[in-house]
Amino acid sequence: LTMGVSSGVDYLSAQDGYYKSVYKILLPTEAQTVVNKLKIIPGFELVEEEIIKRVNKSAELAASKAKPIFVNAIRQLTFKDVWNILTGDKNAATQYLYKTSYDQLYGEFQPVIINSLNQYNALDYWTQAVNKYNTIPFVSKVNPKLENYITEKALEGLFDMVEKKELSIRNDIRERTTDLLRKVFARQDK
């Protein structure tokens, strides 16, 4: 469990961990509408790529907060939890972590994401983009909560990464790099 968590957190919290991976956070649909209109306005041609870069950088910074929360959830495992993970679904460990840590992770991620977005001026940049968009005649005014969307997408990517590592450990004997992993999952292989 700790291996899957460490692997996912380390990968996504590294530079370009989100940005240059399948977990790259793209803009929400309503933001895409704004961006498509803004790209034709001089000075806003690169608005989409700039916002996406800043959004993903904020998610990478937030991801570094996940490991201690996951480790704490792992330390809280009861014998029953361990048994359910071992005998449960192929993603039972990830389900356990989601159930026991999602809310806390959300609470830790969002302030980091907001702070980071502010640090990289992404929220200001987004506000400028939305304000400019809202001056275009005959368009519906837009004001999406970008930080909620980014937090949810960052956590979605993190849990997906943990789940992939869990499946890899369960299905590939070579991924069981410790004696404990080999002993625990040997039972499942029979």
**13-28, pLDDT tens digit by residue?**
999 999 999 999 998 8
pLDDT in tens, 7-63: 889 999 999 999 999 999 998 877 777 778 778 888 778 878 888 898 899 999 999
Please tell me the distance from the alpha carbon of residue 123 to that of residue 54, in angstroms, as a whole number: 9
Whether the full predicted model's pTM is greater than 0.85, yes or no, is: no
- Band of pLDDT at residue 82, cut at 50, 70 and 90: confident
Q: Are 134 and 142 in contact (CB under 8 A)?
A: yes
Residue 3: count other Cβ atoms within 10 Å of its Cβ: 17
Question: Which of 7-11, 112-116, 152-156 is modeled with the greatest confidence?
Answer: 152-156
Task: Work out the average pLDDT over 72-101.
Answer: 91
- Band of pLDDT at residue 160, cut at 50, 70 and 90: very high
Residue showing tokens 């460990």: 93
